[in-house]
Chain A
Amino acid sequence: MSRNEAKPRMLANLFLPIISLKRRGSSGWMVIFGLIIVLDLVTMTLVGPYIAPYNPSESLAGAPIKAPPSLQYPFGTNHLRQDMLSRTLVGGSIMLQVAALSVVVCFLIGVPIGLFSSYVGGLFDGIVSMIIDAVYAFPGLVIAIAIAAMLGPGVINISLSIAVVYIPSYFRIVRSQVLSIKELTYVEAAKAIGAKWYTILIRYVFPNVIPSIMVVTTINFADAILTAAGLTFIGLGVTYDIPDWGWDLTNGRNYLATGAWWMITFPGIMIVLLALGFTLMGEGLSEMLNPKLQR
């Protein structure tokens, strides 16, 4: 098998699951449905600032405090006379930034280490695996709390503290795949024609790992969103000034006893929808790639 032949076939394999989504029955529909939810919410967050009826961070002079939903304020107002609809429209921005950044960091660290470590094997792989497994077994939120508490607020800091928690997922999935791929005959063939180890890893092994990484990435997005919301809930969030679903939900809880359900429900449902979109994509993809592999 020459290099030129091998490459297009692998690329086709990579996109095949997406092309034939609809033919894959219920799992294909799960992916499509999840994708629609996510794209909708991302679009909403992007255009939110332009279509919001009021300034989301402004205390509206004429508005009542904690007003229930009405025609004028369809999602009600909060304790600062801010319009909840406007806040809900723009409130995904921080959460999406944090999730995207932490996923990128996880990917850039977890995948190369996973590829290299499992390809090299031996003592190095043993030690790295042991460290990663120790992190993996630890409650993720506790690690994120410890790091976030030390690094302080800010999008980058919060993203990093979440990234540390999910690097092991990438490492583990890559490792489990590479361990079987590296024994295949085409890798042996590549070695025989004198390919360098990094050429083998990048051109022959990596493309075959991508589908599994896609599953981990989507699930990771959902987890990162939930962890970011959790950190905000216990007071380690990014900031207080910018409208954010996590912060609105946390804050609304203080007024629970007054029965102001609208302050909690709308931001909460947005977080659930966003996480659900990614979870559906992840579950659908994972069923398509490997019907027996159930997370």
Chain B
Amino acid sequence: MILMGLRSYIATRILLTIPTLLLLLSAVFIIMRVLPGDPVSLHFEKKADPELMDAMRHTLGLDKPLWQQYIDYIGGLIDVGYLLKNGYPNLGKSMQTFEEVGGQIFSAFPATLELAIYSMIIACILGILLGVVASKSYNSILDHLIRGFGTITYAIPVFFLGIIFQLIFGVYLGWLPTGLRISPNVEPPATITGLYTIDSLLEGNLFKFAESLKALLLPSLTLGIILSGMFVRLTRTNMLETFRSDFVTAARARGLKERTVTLGYVLRNAFLPILTMMGLQFAMLLGGAILTETTFSWPGLGRYIVNRISFRDYTAIQGAVVVFGLFVTIVSLVVDILYAYLDPRIRL
């Protein structure tokens, strides 16, 4: 085996991303254009005048031969000039509003990102905490309860949990808002990052910060709890395995406090697989975000897709799917690089 430095590992990993990405984009193209079902006639539910449909095909470039459409589509995505001018890639025009799909997605994306980040934080804290507790009390009632929690979270549809939370904390108790990113009576903070909690802090407005945090609480708790099950299971198993290692016995033999052993030795070494899982979970998180956003009327990318589905806006759906793909690819790239940085064995 050849020894590689971190830098060349990163370069190889980035190069390997290109074919994966191309494959992914082609798959989306095949699903949306080559599979049976013509977007334009589906959009009009076959009820419109054929001339009108032809005009729309022409405006959207859907009357060109497939290979030409494919080149336009890939070409649009790698058109750096367009990207620099507008700040988002060329994803074509919406069938409903004829606006740039890229622009619409760009403005919806921060909402999804904010939801994803907070859900991930909740899932990690809850999952790792419960996992550590379960492994410490191996085979006790507490351990079984925590494992049961992990199994049940896997079986609950995320929107069902969201609806139950809305019912309890929104409708009955009236403590928390059941939708939107900020109360309609409050002016949203000026867009800097697009993340309301950060923008309101940058503005120095603590009231807006509290309001946006309140709106975030139920959706991110819903998604976070659903995702935490995976982390519970993974943390527990890895901790249990690490507890049996020689170096843990050695640490205990040296008379270190149990707390130091658990957190400083065992958790630290059990953390690498958890990090990998975080990357993989991001994909699941995005799927869950679509349903969570629909449940909580959260104006993000997921809700954008669902809205476009009801308008039968196929170009917009395609654009959103592509953005999901790009996002997942970038996250997995970052996680792999982080992993290589933390664990030198990977670079071998």
Asked if B154 and A279 sit within 8 Å, CB to CB, the answer is yes
Other A-B pairs, 19, CB within 8 Å; known A138-B325, A249-B163, A272-B156: A130-B23, A134-B20, A134-B24, A139-B324, A139-B328, A140-B284, A141-B290, A146-B317, A149-B309, A152-B37, A230-B290, A233-B159, A235-B310, A257-B171, A259-B167, A264-B164, A278-B155, A280-B151, A292-B241
CB of B84, distance to nearest CB on chain A (Å): 27
| A138/B167 contact (C-beta < 8 A), A146-B317, A234-B306 known | no
When chains A and B are docked, how far (Å) is the Cα of A33 from the Cα of B172? 34
| A234/B294 contact (C-beta < 8 A), A279-B155, A294-B234 known | yes
A–B pairs, 10, beta carbons within 8 Å: A133-B20, A145-B321, A147-B35, A150-B35, A229-B160, A252-B163, A253-B163, A264-B167, A279-B155, A292-B241
- With CB as the reference atom, state the residue of chain A lying closest to B318: A146
CB of B297, distance to nearest CB on chain A (Å): 11
- With CB as the reference atom, state the residue of chain A lying closest to B284: A139
| A294/B237 contact (C-beta < 8 A), A142-B286, A149-B314, A233-B294 known | yes
Q: Which of B26-34, B99-107, B196-204, B212-220 lies at the interface with chain A? A: B26-34
When chains A and B are docked, how far (Å) is the Cα of A271 from the Cα of B156? 8
Check if B344 is an interface residue, CB within 8 A of chain A: no
CB of B239, distance to nearest CB on chain A (Å): 12
Check if B233 is an interface residue, CB within 8 A of chain A: yes
Check if A236 is an interface residue, CB within 8 A of chain B: yes
Check if A9 is an interface residue, CB within 8 A of chain B: no
| A279/B35 contact (C-beta < 8 A), A234-B309, A253-B295 known | no
Segment 294-348 of B: residues with Cβ below 8 Å from A: 294-295, 305-306, 309-310, 314, 317-318, 321, 324-325, 328-329, 332
Q: Chain A, 106-145, contact with B by CB distance < 8 Å: what is the 0/1 string?
A: 0000000000000000000000001101110111111101
Please tell me which one of the listed residues A141, A235, A275 contacts residue B155 in the complex, with CB atoms under 8 A apart.
A275
Chain A contact residues, CB within 8 Å of chain B: 130-131, 133-135, 137-143, 145-147, 149-152, 222, 226, 229-230, 233-236, 249, 252-253, 256-257, 259, 261, 264-265, 268, 271-272, 275-276, 278-280, 283, 292, 294-295
List chain A residues, Cβ under 8 A from B156.
Answer: 272, 275
Asked if B151 and A283 sit within 8 Å, CB to CB, the answer is yes
CB of B331, distance to nearest CB on chain A (Å): 9
Asked if B155 and A139 sit within 8 Å, CB to CB, the answer is no
- With CB as the reference atom, state the residue of chain B lying closest to A140: B287
When chains A and B are docked, how far (Å) is the Cα of A280 from the Cα of B31? 34
| A256/B234 contact (C-beta < 8 A), A138-B24, A141-B291 known | no
CB of B26, distance to nearest CB on chain A (Å): 10
Taking chain A's interface residues, is the majority helix, strand, or loop, or is none over half, making it mixed?
A: helix
Q: Chain B, 148-190, contact with A by CB distance < 8 Å: what is the 0/1 string?
A: 0001101111111001101100011000001000000000000
Asked if A138 and B328 sit within 8 Å, CB to CB, the answer is yes
Asked if B291 and A234 sit within 8 Å, CB to CB, the answer is yes
List chain B residues, Cβ under 8 A from A152.
Answer: 37, 42
Check if B19 is an interface residue, CB within 8 A of chain A: yes
CB of A130, distance to nearest CB on chain B (Å): 7
Asked if B27 and A135 sit within 8 Å, CB to CB, the answer is yes
List chain A residues, Cβ under 8 A from B36.
Answer: 150-151
Asked if B31 and A137 sit within 8 Å, CB to CB, the answer is no
| A235/B24 contact (C-beta < 8 A), A139-B287, A272-B157 known | no
When chains A and B are docked, how far (Å) is the Cα of A130 from the Cα of B160? 35
Taking chain B's interface residues, is the majority helix, strand, or loop, or is none over half, making it mixed?
A: helix
- With CB as the reference atom, state the residue of chain A lying closest to B152: A276
- With CB as the reference atom, state the residue of chain B lying closest to A264: B163
When chains A and B are docked, how far (Å) is the Cα of A139 from the Cα of B172? 34
Asked if A271 and B314 sit within 8 Å, CB to CB, the answer is no
When chains A and B are docked, how far (Å) is the Cα of A149 from the Cα of B307? 12
List chain B residues, Cβ under 8 A from A145.
Answer: 290, 305, 309, 317, 321
Please tell me which one of the listed residues B151, B237, B288 contacts residue A279 in the complex, with CB atoms under 8 A apart.
B151
Check if B126 is an interface residue, CB within 8 A of chain A: no
Segment 2-51 of B: residues with Cβ below 8 Å from A: 19-20, 23-24, 27-28, 31-32, 35-37, 42
Asked if B283 and A268 sit within 8 Å, CB to CB, the answer is no
When chains A and B are docked, how far (Å) is the Cα of A257 from the Cα of B179? 12
| A138/B314 contact (C-beta < 8 A), A253-B295, A256-B171 known | no
Asked if B23 and A134 sit within 8 Å, CB to CB, the answer is yes
Q: Chain B, 221-247, contact with A by CB distance < 8 Å: what is the 0/1 string?
A: 000000000000110010001000000
List chain A residues, Cβ under 8 A from B306.
Answer: 234-235
CB of A251, distance to nearest CB on chain B (Å): 11
Most buried by B among A138, A151, A265, A276: A138
List chain B residues, Cβ under 8 A from A230.
Answer: 157-159, 287, 290-291
CB of A279, distance to nearest CB on chain B (Å): 5
List chain B residues, Cβ under 8 A from A253.
Answer: 159, 163, 295
Segment 241-256 of B: residues with Cβ below 8 Å from A: 241
List chain A residues, Cβ under 8 A from B295.
Answer: 253
Asked if A271 and B160 sit within 8 Å, CB to CB, the answer is yes
CB of A277, distance to nearest CB on chain B (Å): 8
Most buried by A among B157, B234, B288: B157
Most buried by A among B24, B163, B329, B332: B163
Asked if B157 and A233 sit within 8 Å, CB to CB, the answer is yes
Asked if B155 and A130 sit within 8 Å, CB to CB, the answer is no
- With CB as the reference atom, state the residue of chain A lying closest to B237: A294
When chains A and B are docked, how far (Å) is the Cα of A152 from the Cα of B36? 10
List chain A residues, Cβ under 8 A from B324.
Answer: 138-139, 142
Asked if A139 and B309 sit within 8 Å, CB to CB, the answer is no
When chains A and B are docked, how far (Å) is the Cα of A235 from the Cα of B332? 30
